[in-house]
Amino acid sequence: MKNRILSVDVLRGLTIFLMIVVNTPGSWNYVYAPLRHAAWSGCTPTDLVFPSFLFVVGLSMSISFRKMNPANKTPILLKLLKRAALIFLIGLLLNWFPFYRTNIADLRIFGVLQRIALAFLVAGICIILLQKTRQLIVVFAVLLLGHWALLYFLGGDAPYSLEGNFSNVLDKALFGEGHLYGGFGIPFDPEGLLGTLSSAGQVILGYIIGKRTLKNGIPDLPQTKKLAILAVVLIFAGQLWNIVYPINKPLWTGAYVLYTSGIITVVWALLIWAIDIQKQNQWTLVFRVFGQNPLVSYILSVLLVKIFIYVFKIGDTSLLGWSYQHIFQPVFDNYFGSLMFALCFTFFIWLFAYGLYRKGKIIKI
C-alpha cells in the first residue's frame, strides 16, 4: 500500500466511478447529454471513460513490470494469458447472465471486459517481448496506422460509417450477426475484434507515458509540466487526424486514441500536481476505494443492475424501473432523478469496495 502512487489509484478509481454512473441511469429516456455517448463520431465526456480505463491499464503495467526479469519472460507471458482469458470469460458470462434469458446461440461475444482482456493481452505481449521505448513507439504507430489502413482500404464507399465499416464485415464473417451488439439498429459491435488494434495501442501509450513519467517514482513539478505539454500535443494530433479520420468510439479510431489519451493525460497531470506534489488528498477517499479494486467493483455493478432489471420485479415492472418511478422521479423529477438513481447505485457498490479497502484486501482478476 505504501508503494502505491496515489494519483494513479485516484485516476483509476475516478474512471470506475464514472463507468458505473454512466451505465446505470434510472431511465435511459432521461440522461443528461454529457452522460451519453456520441451517436457515432465525436466525443462527449462519457466517451472518455472507457479509454481512460485502458490508458490506466498501461500506467499500471509500467509500475508492475518494473521488476520483470528480461531473461525469463515465459512465466510472465503465461500469467498475462491466464489473466486475459479470465477477464474475457467473466465478460462473456456477464453477457449471458441471467442465464435463463439468453440462448447461448444468441450470446453476444464481445463487451467491455472482453475489449479490456484483448487489449491487455496484445499490449502486454508487445511490452514483454520488446520492452524498449523506441520499439514500443513503433508498435503503437503500426497498430494505429494498421487499423486505419484496414478500415480505409477494405471498407465501403463510406469506410467510417455504421453501414460501411470493415470492422462490422469482419465480425459478421467470423462470429455471425446473432453474436453481435444490436443497439445501433443493425448488428454491429462497438467492442468488436478489429478495434482491439487501436485499443491495444492505447494501453501501450499509457505504458510508455507511465514508464517515462514514473521512472524516478513520484514525478516532480518539471516532469509534470512536460506531461501536460505532451497531453496538449496528443489532443492537437487527435484533432488534426480527425480532419480525415474521425474521432469515433464505436470504431475506436486512432484519432480517438490520441485525442482521449491527451485529455486523460491532462487529468492525470492535474492529479499528480494536486495529490502527489501538493499533498491535497483529503478529498480522494471515494476514488481511492474504487481504485484499489476496480474490476471487481465494475463486475459487481453489472451483476446487480441485471438483477435489478431481470430478476426482481414488482408486478410487471423491474425493481430498477419501479425504484426510479416511485422514489427518484417523484422526488427529483425526470433527469435529475435518473442521475440520483445512478449516484445512489454507485454509492451502494462503493460500500462493498470500501469494506475491502478497510481490510486492505485487493481482489486481483
Mean pLDDT on 159-171: 97
Q: Tell me the DSSP string of 122-133.
A: HHHHHHHHH--H
* Domain of residue 296, residue span: 6-358
**Residue 250 domain-assigned?**
yes
pLDDT of 365 reads: 84
Report whether pLDDT(117) > 60: yes
Q: Give me the amino acid identity at 342.
A: A
Report whether pLDDT(52) > 80: yes
For residues 102 and 237, the model is more confident at 237
> What would the pLDDT profile of 265-297 be if each residue is shown by its tens digit?
999 999 999 999 999 999 999 999 999 999 999
**Residue 1 domain-assigned?**
no
Report whether pLDDT(189) > 80: yes
pLDDT of 56 reads: 97
User: Which residues touch 245 (CB under 8 Å, ≥6 apart)?
Assistant: 148, 152, 160, 253, 254, 255
**Residue 51 domain-assigned?**
yes
Model confidence at 1, pLDDT cuts 50, 70, 90, reads very low
**Residue 364 domain-assigned?**
no
> What would the pLDDT profile of 58-100 be if each residue is shown by its tens digit?
999 999 888 777 778 899 999 999 999 999 999 999 999 999 8
Minimal CA–CA distance to 112: which of 24, 39, 51?
Answer: 51
pLDDT of 3 reads: 57
- Residues 260 and 324 sit within 8 Å (Cβ to Cβ): no
Report whether pLDDT(2) > 70: no
Report whether pLDDT(337) > 50: yes
For residues 53 and 315, the model is more confident at 53
Cβ neighbours of 66 (radius 10 Å): 10
**Residue 90 domain-assigned?**
yes
Instruction: Give 217's Cβ-side CA count (13 Å radius).
Output: 4
Q: Give me the amino acid identity at 351.
A: L
**Residue 363 domain-assigned?**
no
Q: How many domains does the chain have?
A: 1
Instruction: Give 92's Cβ-side CA count (13 Å radius).
Output: 15
**Residue 365 domain-assigned?**
no
Q: Can you give the pTM of this predicted structure?
A: 0.96
**Residue 291 domain-assigned?**
yes
- The x, y and z cell numbers of residue 196, run together, are 482491439
Peptide bond into 25 cis (omega under 30): no
pLDDT of 85 reads: 98
How many residues does the structure list for the chain?
Answer: 365
The mean pLDDT of the chain is 95
Tell me which DSSP letter residue 264 carries: H
Report whether pLDDT(299) > 50: yes
User: Which residues touch 42 (CB under 8 Å, ≥6 apart)?
Assistant: 246, 247, 248
